[in-house]
Structure 1
Amino acid sequence: MWFAYFYYFLIFIRFVTSATKAETIFQCDHIFDSSKSDGEFQLPILPSPATGSEHTSSPGPLKNMQCIYTFVAGPRQRVKLDFDQFQLAGTADNCETEYVDIYSELESPHDDLLTASFGGRYCGTVSPYVRISLHKVIVLVFHSRAASNRRSELKFRGHYSFISDARYNAGHQIGKAKCSFLIESKTRKRGTILSPTYPGTYPKNFHCSYLLNGRMGQRIRFFFRDFDVYFGGEHCPYDSMTIYDGTTNKDPIIRKVCGLQQRLEVYSFGPNAFLEFNTTSPTKADPRGYVIDYEFSSRYVDVLKLLDNEKGVTHLRGSECDVRVESNRETVHYIHSPKYPHLYPANTTCTYIIDGLQGEQNLEKVLLTFEKFAVLSEPTIGALSSSQKHTPDYEEELCATAYVGIAMRDTTIKSVLASGEESTYDATLCERIPEGSEALGPYASDGPRMVLVFGSFDRVTADEQTPFGFRAKIEFKTDFGIPGDPGGDSNKCLFKFTKPQGSFNSPRYPANYPLDTNCTYFIKASPGQQIQVYFEQFALYSDGSGSGGDKCADFLEIFDVFMVNGKERLQLQAKYCAQTFPGPTVSAFGSYEMRVFFRSDSQGTGNGFKALYKIRKAFKEAIPTRETSRHCGQRITRTDDRTTGWLVSPGYPIRYNKDLICDWEIKVRPGHRILLNLVKMEVEGAMSEDSINCQNAVIRVDADRGVGAGPSVQEICGTVESVIQPIVSNNNTVRISFFTSPDKVNGLKGFNFTWTEVKLIKDDRECSDASLYLCTYTKLCIDARLRCNGDENCGLHDDTDEAHCNKLESATDIRTVLFAATFSGCIFLFIFGFFCYLFKKKFERKKKKRRRYASSGLKHLRQPYRSQKPVSKAAAGRPTDIHLLPSPAASRLTHHDIRGVMPLSSDHPHVANMYRESPKQHHSHTETFYG
């Protein structure tokens, strides 16, 4: 308290300083006593003027003010303050200029405020909550330095009253403790416990205790009518109310409570209980405390009789008759209603929480069967079947006064445990159910937990028969979490599947599967049907050591089941281990049953797997003769003309579709084998040296068909061809299958294989024939015609059938060029000769034409111009040309231009003379000419 002392010392110094500066300090202290039972107060109350005796509340222009208001109650009374108006300067976090300090734990009005417990400081607009004195005195200290320059009106008004303190005396006070009481049933069977200053803010750093003692056979019921205690966290590390099931705080804790609680109900196990309330000094808060009703009674359920010394059945501490039944691995237990076989009590609700084992190695489910059932209700309607569900209205009609509700699903169980009486159950029973009725069960839980609720209301109904209530048998069975029909004892992981479609999974999926587990799945169809299986998840345990570890410590095996002479024959289809994701698959041709085995060892676990299956109509052929929309593929047989070939996915290189089932079979001569080489692959999935994931699409190559007890199938997918090495079969037959998921695929291009008939030889002389070729490194003997065909037909790391083709290709190229040149030359000579012939013919025609002209004695010269009009008359005085004919026929032998008759050659004397004439003479001597 040194801080408070120092603070008031500073105030005193300030007052003295202010006085020396002639500042006014008003004496406005006031005392309210119990002479008046209640009244109003407002602050500040200033001294009366010199001319009158009345007080005034107007602060005027005052600059500095401190007022102390003391409320003093009478004997066996307490002070109660209610604040109606509150508006001071400052904010809740900054109370420097104006504030009110509250002291509510004073025993006398003369107590020193500097050493008294401080109840809080308030300013701004946040009003203090209701205050009730711990004893009989409350002091308010009002301080203001903002009266002269305040921006808002000062408001501080409330009501005071003096109330009796009898309600706060819960019992006999123990010793000199301020808040320690003894409550005994012999003096008070029921009553109420209030926090020390309820509904006012309870004191800080305070302690209260209440010891309740009843008689033998009694139990104590606590009902939290109101509870408001500072909440500092889930485990109530600050302020809390703790209820102990005994007489001291060393007995078992029933419950530790803090925060806000409404209508909380708590029962003691026996006739004694101890309550302890502790407070600290948390951040500013005004919690009001608590109001707890208590009652001693012997009508509450006798827990010892309810448990009946049953092993694994315990009482849930703090409840009237809630019971927990716990499994001890495959155990059997019994439960019954209160007072069974006698009539159950009214207004009683008992919850039976039944828990099977749930851990890394254990998972159980609950089977509940009623041996006797007579929970009578009005009106009598009859029992409900186990499959019926009800709403609260439905329950009110059929099971109005008593019922038994069963919650078997997770969502229903959560609802029942959260809301209690207003819950909806998976099954509701009432009335007397005869033996042998299906309504008696068994009821199976979906998980490791089941909840049963017995409830009775104000009226209980009895008939002339006995017993009353119920008795039930509880069996815990190992729950593998597999949806099929169990095929053996509850502790055996064996399940059957016969529905047209469904799913199966590893034990406890999606949780980790247990160690040392062996599970068998029977998937059975009918003759003429086949089974399709594809996986949704697959993750088995891997020790993380890569290729050096044992990947198949945990594994899954798929077998095809054949019936031979009435006996089963299992043929292994595939085995999957860690770091592998199986692709889709179907049962083998002729098999209509699949058997799946799952095994885990003792080293580690994983999430396991989930697979889906469909039963479909079987194909008519193992290898289709004709492709259909459901079944594609073909049978490929080697011939003399075909010792190699191609094999591609449907529609390659176009995208493949979902739900594809394709089967190819390649067969060559006996004593020979088949070499498969992957040329191109774009199939969704991924492959590496350590893992493979072919979930939605897979290529399966059975290169050992017909060899050994079962096939050794290689699964292929992804887009990296180099991961897949060339495959050589072990006999003369290879089966290739391609499956895609029936649900969804991305649809890539597919794949392209080449196949080649090969023969493994021990002596090179076996492949010395000219029609054969011996591969250098792999020692495979192939058809010589396959040499230099553009494909590598010799197998892994051997390209000798293509490596020596360069010289032959060069010689072939030279011959091809020579042949092409010769052929081109011949064509050129033919064309050249043809054109020479045409020119020769044309020249001869021209020569003949010249001879014909020469024979006529005329020499025709080509004139490049013609006159627009023919000249009709010769120029006057022009000398007569002996070669020009005056007749019209001569015009046909004369060249014309657009202007008329063209002149002859200048070599002719007459022509030369004609051109020497002037143009005027030329035009004046024209004559008409008719050609």
Structure 2
Amino acid sequence: MQQRGFKNMKTSTALILLLHLSVHTVDEGHAINPSCSCIRFTSTHGKERGTFSSPDYPRPYPRSACLLYTFLAEPHQIVELVFTDFDIYKEHLDCTRGDYLKVYSEGGVHGPGPPGINEYSSWSSILCGNRADAPPALYSHGPVMVLEVKSGDKPSNATGFIGTYRFIDRRNFETDGVKVSDAQCDYVFASQTDRPAHGRLYSPRYPSSYPTNVRCNYHFHARKHERIKLVFEESYLQKGDESCLNRADIIKVFDGRITTAPVIAILCNEIVGYEILSTGPDLLVQFTANSETSGQGFKASYQFLMDDHSIADLDGGKKSSTGDGSPAMGPAVSAATSSCDQVFRSDKSRSGKLTSPQYPSPYPPKTQCHYDFLARGRERVRLVFDDFSLQRVTGSIIDCESMDSLDVFLYVDGRLEKMGSYCGNDVPKPIMSNGPKLSIEFRGIYSSRYSRGFKISYYFVEDYAIATGKQLPEYPCAFVYNSTERRKGVMTSPNHPGLYPRDTECNYFFYGRKNERVHLHFTHFDVEGVVPCEAVSASDYVQFSSQMIDTRSRRYCGQLRELQIASESNFLRVTFRSNDRLDGTGFRAEYIFLKDTEMQRARTDANDASSHHLTRCWQFISILLVIATL
């Protein structure tokens, strides 16, 4: 072994390193830098995983050291590395100087290690810092992965790293569709009687990072009376919570055969358990990757479902289905108990009424009811409470756990999660689902002659209950406001004045004439979050920009009073984005398109006014608009 890379290491330290790593081969000189020593791993010795670590771990690793970890799998395998601890001294933010760990995942093409690889090979990623800076797992593109560990001269107490490795059969990640000839990554999935009705699809190279500058099309064709259910189990494209408008790597799902069909979903950033159900027998998934740094990609499952059985995953085929628009009264009940299960499907009816058993008479004690709602395509489930009167055991309500209550459940990250519990006599605000499914459980423990139960109007909506603007088919939730059609009006968050849905992005595009600006006056603003409204605080946010793509604009969240926004040009983009956590009632804003001269007068008046004169300033702007339209 060459000693120049380990001039500060004692002989005993090197021996401990070799024993701990269960090293198979120590190479000399077959790497980028002949001063680096290479540790080769070719087996896990009959165990599911092997172990690797930095020298002397958990004590600080030696200074001025250079070491190559080479992992060699069989030709049909790929390498998976998982760091259980990671602490590499970060001298610079980009990790290119000082201590670092470089990852070469291209196998025998772009990495150091085996013969034929040279100093011109390029690394796929570079790491330094602590555990939060390291990815959950690393995967090779082929049967080879190399880690180059380099430490500088500056003193450091960083402890290095420890992790596990294993070799995985790459055939476990093959897409089940038929690959389109002469296409890099296009597939066709056709429902046939002699083929399974379900399967899987992956981004290119998954679970390793996908290539850059690629576009893949996945075409799904069901038979008549069938639909396609698609679940993105994991999708790791780019970190953060930016608007998908700002992202270079996105997944678009079209509710039809071609890209002119309405868009059901646009996925970006990192998503788990996202479910889609097509309206008809065709679906197109388009994956575009144009960023400089690739993510891991996505894995998804698909299933061709018969219309009559498309709710099997919800009800097991046992629940009664309704959708004719008539109230769901529930079955006849005895004085002792009640059982009422209902499924409401948008392909039967887009709206209807749901009532508690025997409404408006009191519901029987010990009543248990379960209601499932199943939408399709771009639709969301919306519940509007017309009447709500449940038995209250105590005078004050602390929680609904031990009382007659109605619980609402959403599907978040692929799991059923309670959104809220409602009890007493206060009528809940409207509720909207975050996807195609929503469930309700009604628990009537006590009942009384004063408890009417509930009456709910349900709707399957595509417009997110946003009543103004023109909805665009090329986005799941986007609306246009054009001054040539209307110079003033109102814009609201989805489902306002109810709670806005989770995991939702809506964009509002305002287009004025050449010499016009748009002015927004928010009369209500309640968006869950903490300034500066970033992902680290799990904040929802609203963002304003005079550009279609903009990552630098300030974000707004929290509860704000008298918020006013004026565009810098004749175009304004408003982006609302919610996560999968807490909810708010969103916003309501009045908008006005003003000519430049009118806007200048309004700004002058606003600068002269104190904060408690903002309302009068807005009234002044309204007067200007009235004069302009005379």
- What TM-score bracket applies, with the shorter chain setting the length? 0.3 to 0.5
- Higher-Rg member (1/2): 1
TM-score by length of 1: 0.31
Q: Name whichever structure is richer in helix by fraction.
A: 1
**Structure having greater relative contact order (Cα 8 Å, sep ≥ 6):** 2
Q: Name whichever structure is richer in strand by fraction.
A: 2
TM-score by length of 2: 0.44
